[in-house]
């Protein structure tokens, strides 16, 4: 009798693990919330991007929420900040080189946390500041300590751009205006949708 109970318990645990995995996968792969039809409306200057186009870029709007000018002619355009039902906010945008020469991406954008620095160049130094709740939110990390943001870029040719994304824990639903901060760039206020 106890073997039968043990077998049923194991089947129940396996079923629970499968359902949890599917739910997590559906949440993580949700993209931009079904706004696929907006992607073709992007400006022609953004089509010069180098590298692959991550799926998380879907749902970007044409008009940026904020434009932040950094060193060496770098320009960060934030195009969307979407609250997800899973409890996080995904910020999408484009990092452009507006200078006439090749720009080396500064390592300071990764921040100064050892765990993030050990995983290579990224935008892991970014934060969202919710002044209403008086809290700062750092870029999320996966179980191996890698930041949930665009990684693996080191230079941008003159006039080129790359699509970028960053994921943060979501502030309370009552907080829609937050300040986006990235080392070496000025701060900018962005509106969270969703």
E strand or H helix at 19: helix 2-28
More confident call, 87 vs 48: 87
Residue linked to tokens 């191996």: 144
pLDDT of 34: 44
* Average pLDDT for the chain: 78
Residue 86 has pLDDT above 50, yes or no: yes
Gap between the Cα atoms of 92 and 113, Å rounded: 22
More confident call, 11 vs 189: 189
Phi, psi of 39, deg, nearest 5: -60, -45
CA distances, 152 to each of 50, 108, 162 (Å): 12, 14, 11
Residue 188 has pLDDT above 70, yes or no: yes
pLDDT of 56: 44
Structure tokens at 28: 């993580």
pLDDT band at 146 (very low <50, low <70, confident <90, very high): very high
pLDDT of 57: 45
pLDDT of 117: 86
pLDDT of 62: 67
Residue 150 has pLDDT above 60, yes or no: yes
The string of DSSP letters for 62-73 reads SS-SEEEE-GGG
Gap between the Cα atoms of 109 and 78, Å rounded: 15
Residue 24 has pLDDT above 90, yes or no: no
pLDDT band at 194 (very low <50, low <70, confident <90, very high): confident
R_g (Cα) of the chain, nearest Å: 19
Gap between the Cα atoms of 194 and 192, Å rounded: 7
Q: Which residues contact 14 (CB under 8 A, 6 or more apart)?
A: none
E strand or H helix at 114: helix 114-117
pLDDT band at 11 (very low <50, low <70, confident <90, very high): low
The model's pLDDT over 88-134, given as tens digits with 9 standing for 90+, comes to 999 999 999 999 899 999 999 999 888 888 888 999 999 999 999 89
pLDDT of 134: 93
The model's pLDDT over 164-181, given as tens digits with 9 standing for 90+, comes to 999 999 999 999 999 999
> pTM above the 0.75 mark?
no
Structure tokens at 168: 């943060």
């Amino acid at each position: 009798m106890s073997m039968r109970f043990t077998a049923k318990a194991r089947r129940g645990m396996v079923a629970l693990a499968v359902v949890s995995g599917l739910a997590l996968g559906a949440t993580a792969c949700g993209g931009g919330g079904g706004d696929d039809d907006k992607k073709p409306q992007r400006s022609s200057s953004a089509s010069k991007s180098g590298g692959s186009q991550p799926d998380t870029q879907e749902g970007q709007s044409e008009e940026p929420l904020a434009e932040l000018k950094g060193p060496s002619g770098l320009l960060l355009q934030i195009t969307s900040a979407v609250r997800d039902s899973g409890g996080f906010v995904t910020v999408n945008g484009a990092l452009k080189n507006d200078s006439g020469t090749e720009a080396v991406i500064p390592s300071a954008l990764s921040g100064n946390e050892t765990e993030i620095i050990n995983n290579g160049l990224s935008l892991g130094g970014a934060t969202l500041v919710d002044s209403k709740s008086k809290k700062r939110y750092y870029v999320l990390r996966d179980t191996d300590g890698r930041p949930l943001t665009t990684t693996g870029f080191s230079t941008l040719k003159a006039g080129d751009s790359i699509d970028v994304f960053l994921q943060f824990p979501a502030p309370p639903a009552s907080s829609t205006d937050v300040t986006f901060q990235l080392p070496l760039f000025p701060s900018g206020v962005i509106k969270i949708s969703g």
